[in-house]
């Protein structure tokens, strides 16, 4: 594989040796080494006049579980576990024409593995999750590292920009502020001299206070403030402190985005992982192009004992006419760059653009990942696919928007959900929680534990208990 501009002596997609050594994934590991399956997901087109995807077999099935919008992580984990350990049957329906939810990836005609819904970087500190995901895929170590094209302070709105590590490290503050920091102690002192504690003397009450009390106003201005506005259409002061706490602030030279013990990518992509989880299982029936609400309205859902609902919680209760919860969506502008210098468009897989003068938040270049198909690994593709990521209000919901108003509204929906017999609300949209992939998996695994232990499919911990803030990186 062409080394690319961001390879280290450890390899493609790896950090410098000192930091790469912290990743417990050291080589290719996990199952399904030789399994090469053709795409086998039945793509059944639904017609409005026929019930449930024109497939009477499904309509007539009486599964234990229906998972609505269920081929993403939460629904897939629950269907897999319930089948493997309890022999339960599931019908998974999804309104999209593919499995895998937002993790869905595919190989383009140019031979590049790309993600339809933005970059997904797997990382976890939970041994249980790491053990679980290795059953369905081989994994390749990947130390995700992000660079930001950050305005040099004082250079004006569209002035000079430097490419620096994000989250901030010693290199970041030296490049931007000429801070002359050479070791961890000096970096700690630098943060100390910059930090501004909240005037009220308590814990940071919002994103701005969180950022100022961690990095001070100068880094806040160039890295956090405008990026956050672009991402959420809210300034940090309008968001929970937890949003800004997702990003660590390093005193070291560790330029990895995540600090978790296990960091890797599925060797044949996420879609293959979902295929391996679900497609060979006779207890699991998948129907795509199926809209849960359309079938609920027409009364054409299969009879079932339990519903696993993974859609937006407020959509479930739309008939009640309560205010809607706020979600953030993403739009990807893809471009195939024919002949970039050295085969790559940019220096890293993800380059952030935190300044206000650039309309997108980041640019993803897929070719940097070590789980690319052979054509890329052999250097046979000169061009490169990039995706500029824009954040927007309309479109597929990606992120709940964590702030006090939305949380209060969510609590009202959660109170209704708690009283809903035979329905489990699971995952990012149904729990209105900014879960990372591994947290979504852990939540589903623990819900399954509860099903076994108590007969109820309920979470073991509250969404906010998945770690400080909304799950730091």
The CB-of-218 to ligand UDP minimum distance in angstroms stands at 14
Does 124 help bind ligand UDP (rule: CB under 6 A)?
Answer: no
Helix H, strand E, coil C: the string for 354-371 is CCCCCCCCEEEEHHHCCC
- Of 78-86, 175-183, 221-229, 367-375, the segment contacting ligand UDP by CB under 6 A is 221-229
Does 210 help bind ligand UDP (rule: CB under 6 A)?
Answer: no
Does 247 help bind ligand UDP (rule: CB under 6 A)?
Answer: yes
Please state, in angstroms and as integers, the Cα–Cα distance from residue 18 to each residue in 10, 165, 199, 256, following that order.
Answer: 10, 16, 39, 11
For residues 351 and 381, which CB has a smaller minimum distance to ligand UDP in the complex?
Answer: 351
250, burial (CB in 10 Å: exposed 0-12, middle 13-18, buried 19+): buried
For residues 249 and 458, which CB has a smaller minimum distance to ligand UDP in the complex?
Answer: 249
Helix (H) or strand (E) segment spanning residue 399: strand 399-400
- Of 90-98, 168-176, 224-232, 272-280, the segment contacting ligand UDP by CB under 6 A is 224-232
- Of 6-14, 89-97, 168-176, 219-227, the segment contacting ligand UDP by CB under 6 A is 219-227
Q: Peptide bond preceding 167: is omega within 30 degrees of 0, i.e. cis?
A: yes
- Of 220-228, 279-287, 374-382, 401-409, the segment contacting ligand UDP by CB under 6 A is 220-228
User: Of 204, 214, 211, nearest to 227 (Cα)?
Assistant: 211
For residues 173 and 247, which CB has a smaller minimum distance to ligand UDP in the complex?
Answer: 247
Residue from 70, 354, 400, 402 that binds ligand UDP (CB under 6 A)? 354
**Joined tokens for residue 108:** 């383009």
| Long-range CB contacts (within 8 A, 24+) of 411-414 | 412/322, 413/313, 413/314, 413/316, 413/317, 413/322, 413/325, 414/313
What is 155-214 written as a DSSP string? S-TT--EEEEEES--HHHHHHHH-----SHHHHHHHHHHH----TTSSS--SHHHHHHHH
Dihedral over alpha carbons 442, 443, 444, 449 (to 10 degrees): 90
Does 187 help bind ligand UDP (rule: CB under 6 A)?
Answer: no
For residues 115 and 352, which CB has a smaller minimum distance to ligand UDP in the complex?
Answer: 352
Does 263 help bind ligand UDP (rule: CB under 6 A)?
Answer: no
**Joined tokens for residue 137:** 């895929």
The CB-of-161 to ligand UDP minimum distance in angstroms stands at 13
Residue from 12, 166, 210, 409 that binds ligand UDP (CB under 6 A)? 166
Does 63 help bind ligand UDP (rule: CB under 6 A)?
Answer: no
Please, are residues 471 and 259 in contact by the beta-carbon 8 Å criterion?
no
Residue from 135, 195, 246, 407 that binds ligand UDP (CB under 6 A)? 246
Separation between Cα atoms, residue 303 and residue 65, nearest integer Å: 9
Residue from 228, 251, 276, 384 that binds ligand UDP (CB under 6 A)? 228
Does 231 help bind ligand UDP (rule: CB under 6 A)?
Answer: yes
The CB-of-101 to ligand UDP minimum distance in angstroms stands at 15
Tell me the site size for ligand UDP, rule CB under 6 A: 13
The dihedral of CA 8, 9, 12, 18: what is its sign?
negative
Residue from 52, 136, 224, 410 that binds ligand UDP (CB under 6 A)? 224
For residues 68 and 352, which CB has a smaller minimum distance to ligand UDP in the complex?
Answer: 352
Contacts of ligand UDP in 131-150 (CB under 6 A): 148
Please, are residues 290 and 409 in contact by the beta-carbon 8 Å criterion?
no
The CB-of-298 to ligand UDP minimum distance in angstroms stands at 36
Separation between Cα atoms, residue 350 and residue 365, nearest integer Å: 6
For residues 59 and 227, which CB has a smaller minimum distance to ligand UDP in the complex?
Answer: 227
Q: E strands along 297-361, which residues?
A: 306-309, 327-337, 350-352
For residues 221 and 291, which CB has a smaller minimum distance to ligand UDP in the complex?
Answer: 221
Residue from 190, 227, 274, 345 that binds ligand UDP (CB under 6 A)? 227
Residue from 93, 129, 210, 243 that binds ligand UDP (CB under 6 A)? 243
The CB-of-210 to ligand UDP minimum distance in angstroms stands at 10
Does 391 help bind ligand UDP (rule: CB under 6 A)?
Answer: no
For 138-162, b/e burial (b = at least 16 CB within 10 A) is bbbbbbbbbbbbbbbeeeeeeeebe
> Angle formed by the axes of helices 207-219 and 184-194, to 10°?
110
Does 223 help bind ligand UDP (rule: CB under 6 A)?
Answer: yes
What is the chain's Cα-based Rg? Answer: 23
The owner of tokens 């003397």 is: 201
The CB-of-246 to ligand UDP minimum distance in angstroms stands at 4
Site residues (vs ligand UDP, CB under 6 A): 148, 166, 223-224, 227-228, 231, 243-244, 246-247, 352, 354
């Amino acid at each position: 594989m062409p080394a690319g501009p961001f390879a280290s002596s450890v390899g493609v997609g790896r950090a410098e040796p000192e930091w790469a050594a912290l990743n417990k994934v050291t080589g290719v590991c996990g199952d399904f080494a030789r399994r090469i399956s053709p795409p086998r997901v039945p793509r059944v087109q639904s017609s409005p006049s026929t019930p449930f995807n024109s497939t009477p077999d499904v309509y007539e099935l009486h599964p234990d579980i229906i998972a609505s919008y269920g081929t993403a992580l939460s629904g897939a984990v629950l269907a897999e576990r319930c089948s493997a350990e309890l022999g339960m049957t599931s019908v998974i329906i999804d309104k999209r024409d593919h499995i895998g939810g937002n993790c869905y990836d595919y190989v383009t005609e140019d031979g590049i593995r790309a993600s339809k819904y933005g970059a997904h970087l797997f990382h976890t500190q939970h041994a249980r999750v790491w053990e679980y995901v290795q059953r369905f895929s081989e994994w390749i170590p990947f130390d995700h590292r992000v660079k930001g094209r950050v305005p040099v302070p004082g250079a004006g709105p569209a002035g000079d920009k430097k490419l620096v590590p994000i989250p901030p490290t010693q290199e970041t503050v030296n490049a931007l502020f000429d801070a002359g920091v050479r070791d961890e102690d000096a970096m700690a002192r630098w943060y100390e001299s910059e930090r501004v504690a909240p005037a009220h003397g308590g814990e940071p009450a919002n994103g701005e206070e969180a950022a100022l009390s961690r990095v001070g106003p100068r880094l806040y201005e160039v890295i956090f403030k405008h990026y956050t506005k672009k991402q959420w259409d809210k300034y940090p002061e309008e968001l929970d402190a937890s949003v800004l706490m997702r990003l660590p602030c390093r005193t070291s030279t560790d330029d990895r985005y995540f600090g978790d013990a296990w960091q890797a990518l599925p060797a044949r992509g996420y879609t293959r992982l979902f295929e391996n989880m679900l497609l060979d299982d006779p207890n699991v029936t998948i129907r795509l192009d199926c809209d849960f609400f359309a079938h609920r309205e027409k009364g054409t859902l299969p009879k079932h004992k339990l519903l696993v609902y993974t859609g937006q919680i407020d959509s479930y209760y739309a008939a009640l006419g309560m205010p809607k919860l706020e979600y953030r969506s993403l739009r990807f502008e893809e471009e195939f760059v024919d002949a970039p210098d050295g085969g790559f468009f940019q220096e890293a897989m993800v380059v952030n653009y935190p300044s206000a003068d650039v309309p997108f938040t980041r640019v993803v270049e897929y070719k940097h990942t070590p789980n690319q198909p052979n054509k890329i690994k052999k250097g046979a593709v000169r061009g490169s696919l990039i995706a500029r990521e824009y954040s927007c209000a309309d479109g597929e919901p990606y992120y709940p928007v964590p702030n006090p108003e939305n949380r209060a509204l969510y609590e009202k929906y959660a109170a209704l959900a708690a009283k809903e017999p035979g329905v489990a609300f699971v995952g990012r949209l149904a729990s209105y929680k900014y879960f990372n992939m591994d947290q979504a998996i852990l939540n589903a695994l623990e819900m399954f534990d509860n099903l076994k232990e108590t007969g109820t499919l309920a979470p073991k911990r509250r969404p906010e208990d998945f770690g400080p803030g909304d799950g730091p990186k």
